[in-house]
A and B are shown apart, each in its own frame.
Chain A
Amino acid sequence: MTRTIFLAAVMVLVAATGTCAQTLKAVKDRGALICGVSQGLAGFSNPDDKGNWTGFDVDFCRALAAAVLGEATKVKFSPLSAKDRFEPLKTGEIDVLSRNTTWTLSRDVSYGNFAGVTYYDGQGFMVRKALKVNSALELNGASICTQTGTTTELNLADYFRGNNMRYEVIAFGTADETVKAYESGRCDVFTTDVSQLYAEKLKLTNQNDHVILPEIISKEPLGPLVRHGDDQWFDVVKWTLFAMLNAEELGISSKTVDDALKSNQPEIRRLLGIEGNFGEQLGLSKDWVVRIVKQVGNYGEVFDRNVGAGSKLAISRGLNRLWTKGGIQYAPPVR
């Protein structure tokens, strides 16, 4: 009996042990990347009618898998609610959290490192057209539905306090419950990031009865998150995003990448691994960017396909245009 207790004790201790820093090695050994995504948000991470995951956040994970494992398909997606998204990253159940997560100071300190901004978003409001509201400043006394465990709750409180307006907040556990409550008329307003408002609007029965108000009340830089204490993995994730941005800036897309391999432009040659050993420096192979762009695409392609002009959401690039085109998406050089 003492032996059983001892075995149980050992098992508990093993279970309680934290994960080591070697995420890159762990992913390569496993042969698959485990990526935390949302439970279904059109444009960002959403299973289609065949059960395949699609979306911006999903494609980022695919790009990461293409860079690390050589195959964009070697990803296992783990759907997480907004409230419970950070613990699996901390405990090592997922390798990266790519789940429209806003970069804030306290999250950066408490939960992990943000590997950059994949999408510059902001919080907005959706209301019924019948209410004849034209501005968020007319929302005094309104009932507002939001999802619990988000920065949205805090921004909402700040905005209404700042403008001396009363409000009632009803915070739900998941996005679906929030939208259902808004649709049933429990709230006058549904608030979340604007990109998500566009996505959720698609699910409403009468899309055209609802309008998204012009005010953006917060900065919501969304990005992938990795665990603290693993600089190598942090670099790999960070540079996967930079590679996608640099590829777009240099005009390399999934269609033109084969031609680009013959280019004599030094910047293109460095990015695609024809010159230098930049992939090896990251712990990857030389052609890591070629694989990303060929299998998933550059930043612009991924944006258009999932949330931009080529998608149902049809969100304009706005702030997410490259810095060369009036936006603020900017990546450090590969050299």
Chain B
Amino acid sequence: MSDSPGVYVSGDIRSGSVAPRVPLRHNPRFRALVSQLILLIVVLWLGYELALNVRSNLRAQQITSGFGFLFNTAGFGVNQSLIAYNESDTYGRVFLVGLCNTLLVAGIGIVLATLLGFIIGIARLSPSWLLARLAGAYVELIRNLPLLFQILFWYLAVLGTLPGPRQSLSVGGAIFLNNRGLLLPAPLAGKGAGYVIAAFVVGLLATLALMVWAKRRQARTGARVPSAWGGVFLLMTPPVVALVATGFPITLERPELRGFNFVGGIRLLPEFVALLLALTIYTAAFIAEIVRAGILAVPLGQTEAAFALGLRRSLTLRLVIIPQALRVIVPPLTNQYLNLTKNSSLAIAIGYPDLFAVFAGTTLNQTGQAIEIIGITMSVYLLLSLLTSALMNWYNARTGMAECR
């Protein structure tokens, strides 16, 4: 490509000439501008030709394009939906159902993988020989096995061996575990339940206020306020009082075996659990390595200084090492979050109805609108990834220390 301007300037100074007389076609800035302009025109022309080509081909095959299909009736069932859905809803609704399911598994997966990853990563650096080796074995085993294999393992080899609904494992007749999922009692809100919820919110706010006050006071005076028990008291009292006062309006609906399956309660699908387990455990192995690298990147002197100040190991880790390590950890952590979200599309192998399975799978097949549906699905994953990146960049900018840059 063209030479950088710096080379010309230094050359001119050395030769001692006053005004460089370079013909326009040798002017590096002009050349750079022209070559980029040509590239831009070629790219635009390519895009235009592609669009034109696609349109004429679609027309030749008599395929109607457009997004009108989103308003047509879908007609098929989906077994997990966070929003109200039935077979007479539209493909547009199916898209939302799939999106919610993807967000659910990715969101919970990211939180759990981060927690597990930090624990394993720190455990790898533990002075305990056994703990460090166990964590090391976990990382090496998990990150070297294909994710699809792990998903199928959890689904078929672990959850698939659970007994059928009629032989469910049961805890106190309220919680049931079988090969149709985990069934939990569902809270049913009766009259006056609003007061209990309001009281809970009040308790939560009071606890937060206490924590903030205690922290500020410690920062100001150095004296620690034993706020833990006060916090528990503030958190628990208002809702309990409200419960008693309103006569226990919140009841639990127990799942009940009726016919083939349980009815009532909350059900976690085995597909969801298997996918969540596999994504969490797999991604945690990578996060553990990132955390370990981040901690090792903090100079040993920091630890020694903290110990010299009399801080315990746990406090050293929490107050000195981790905050500094985060600056190294956060950027690669973003990658893992993006990977987890994208990997959730492997759900189709075990029939979890995520965006890819119900929209880019069933909907595409039923409508034949390949270009539109793949376009939408791609944009969604792209948007999710960009949002995650933006969020993590913001967090990174906040946690990074300016003077260390």
Tell whether A and B belong to one assembly. yes
- Give the interface of A toward B (CB within 8 A): 2, 5-6, 9, 12-13, 16-18, 82-83, 86-87, 90, 106-107, 109-111, 131, 139-143, 145, 148-150, 153-154, 156-158, 160-161, 167-173, 177, 180-181, 184-186, 188, 227-229
B260, CB-defined interface residue at 8 Å = yes
Q: Which residue of A lies closest to B270 (CB)?
A: A186
Q: Are B42 and A6 in contact (CB under 8 A)?
A: yes
Q: Are B261 and A148 in contact (CB under 8 A)?
A: no
Q: Are B261 and A143 in contact (CB under 8 A)?
A: yes
Q: Are B76 and A153 in contact (CB under 8 A)?
A: yes
Residues of B within 8 A of A12 (CB): 46, 50
Residues of A within 8 A of B368 (CB): 86, 106-107, 110-111
CB-based closest 3 A-B pairs: A110-B368, A149-B365, A184-B160
B20, CB-defined interface residue at 8 Å = no
Give the one of A140, A153, A186 with max B CB within 10 A. A186
B366, CB-defined interface residue at 8 Å = yes
Residues of A within 8 A of B156 (CB): 180-181, 184
Give the complex CA separation of A161 and B75 in angstroms: 10
Q: Are A177 and B77 in contact (CB under 8 A)?
A: no
Q: Which residue of A lies closest to B261 (CB)?
A: A141
Q: Which of A2, A5, A16, A229 contacts B60 (CB 8 A)?
A: A229
Q: Which of A106, A142, A157 contacts B261 (CB 8 A)?
A: A142
Q: Are B77 and A106 in contact (CB under 8 A)?
A: no
Q: Are B179 and A141 in contact (CB under 8 A)?
A: no
Residues of B within 8 A of A2 (CB): 38, 42
Q: Are B271 and A154 in contact (CB under 8 A)?
A: no
Q: A165 CB to closest chain B CB, in angstroms?
A: 10
B49, CB-defined interface residue at 8 Å = yes
Give the complex CA separation of A141 and B255 in angstroms: 14
Give the complex CA separation of A184 and B362 in angstroms: 24
Chain B, 326-363, contact with A by CB distance < 8 Å: what is the 0/1 string?
Answer: 00000000000000000000001111010001000110
Residues of B within 8 A of A109 (CB): 62
Q: Which residue of B lies closest to A9 (CB)?
A: B46
Q: Are A148 and B77 in contact (CB under 8 A)?
A: no
Residues of B within 8 A of A188 (CB): 260
Residues of A within 8 A of B128 (CB): none
B302, CB-defined interface residue at 8 Å = no
Q: Which of B62, B87, B88, B348 contacts A148 (CB 8 A)?
A: B348
Give the complex CA separation of A177 and B156 in angstroms: 10
Q: Are A83 and B370 in contact (CB under 8 A)?
A: no
Q: A146 CB to closest chain B CB, in angstroms?
A: 9
Per the 8 Å Cβ criterion, residues 121-170 of B in contact with A are: 156, 160-161, 164
Q: Are A110 and B75 in contact (CB under 8 A)?
A: no
Interface residues on B, range: 35 or more
Q: A155 CB to closest chain B CB, in angstroms?
A: 9
Per the 8 Å Cβ criterion, residues 356-390 of B in contact with A are: 357, 361-362, 364-368, 370
B180, CB-defined interface residue at 8 Å = yes
Q: Which residue of A lies closest to B353 (CB)?
A: A171
Q: Are B260 and A172 in contact (CB under 8 A)?
A: no
Known A16-B50, A141-B259, A171-B357: A5·B370 in contact at CB below 8 Å: no
Q: Which residue of A lies closest to B88 (CB)?
A: A161
Q: Are B180 and A186 in contact (CB under 8 A)?
A: yes
B57, CB-defined interface residue at 8 Å = yes
Q: Which of B39, B62, B79 contacts A170 (CB 8 A)?
A: B79
Q: Are A173 and B260 in contact (CB under 8 A)?
A: no
B61, CB-defined interface residue at 8 Å = yes
Q: Are A169 and B78 in contact (CB under 8 A)?
A: yes
B191, CB-defined interface residue at 8 Å = no
Known A86-B365, A90-B61, A153-B362: A177·B87 in contact at CB below 8 Å: no
Give the complex CA separation of A76 and B75 in angstroms: 36
Q: Which of A141, A227, A229 contacts B258 (CB 8 A)?
A: A141
Q: Are A148 and B362 in contact (CB under 8 A)?
A: yes
Q: Which residue of A lies closest to B63 (CB)?
A: A110
Q: Are A228 and B351 in contact (CB under 8 A)?
A: no
